[in-house]
Structure 1
């Protein structure tokens, strides 16, 4: 009985050390090419500069943790769609799910749901057709 407990404790120790390795030592600073245009309580709007150097692309981003199963992704798609509707921001394009961690990492996982927003392209160019959003760079 004691040997089973010792084997289980050794296994748990190796498992926790592996999680620590995945969560801390393998995480590197993310180099990104976006600016946060506006941060809300539940989501933020980002401006991405494409590699071609043309017009900035604006996206709405909703962050969430844990594993991104299809059911969870659909839940956050619906949640972001509802939030955008409530804030009178029109979406353009499809929803995308970004997963940043190894599938073996259990704690500290980060994911994002992105969708392009079409109503704000005029604000970046200088027009003020939608006064609900204040865009400053």
Structure 2
């Protein structure tokens, strides 16, 4: 099962970063590759089991389900249930931790998934570089603009 992650130091306190990250419908606010997000009928941005449909910048869509939202650990986990990617069992977690010496935050975004062996290297790089790293740079930029 391929796995990958990306991390960043965000120039804001953990509580502020977590308030933004925990919003299951909020990716378009800070992730530059997400053009639009919509929750399913009756779903909520903070309720486990909610489904969101993301429209990417290229027009493709990804449908995800919120699996966990842990305010104590400042961690959220979701899975992809429909996408243009040749993957199965995609489960991703974003966790926000305080950097107590600076007042900033450390954010780790990780994933494990299954795919055909010949696709693994490409998909690991895609999720690490084009999804997670781009998103974390967007999160950094969001807080750099608002502070």
TM-score past 0.5 threshold: no
Greater relative CO (CA pairs within 8 A, separation 6+): 2
Indicate the structure with greater helix content: 1
Higher strand share: 2
Which band: TM-score by shorter chain? Answer: 0.3 to 0.5
Structure showing greater Rg: 1
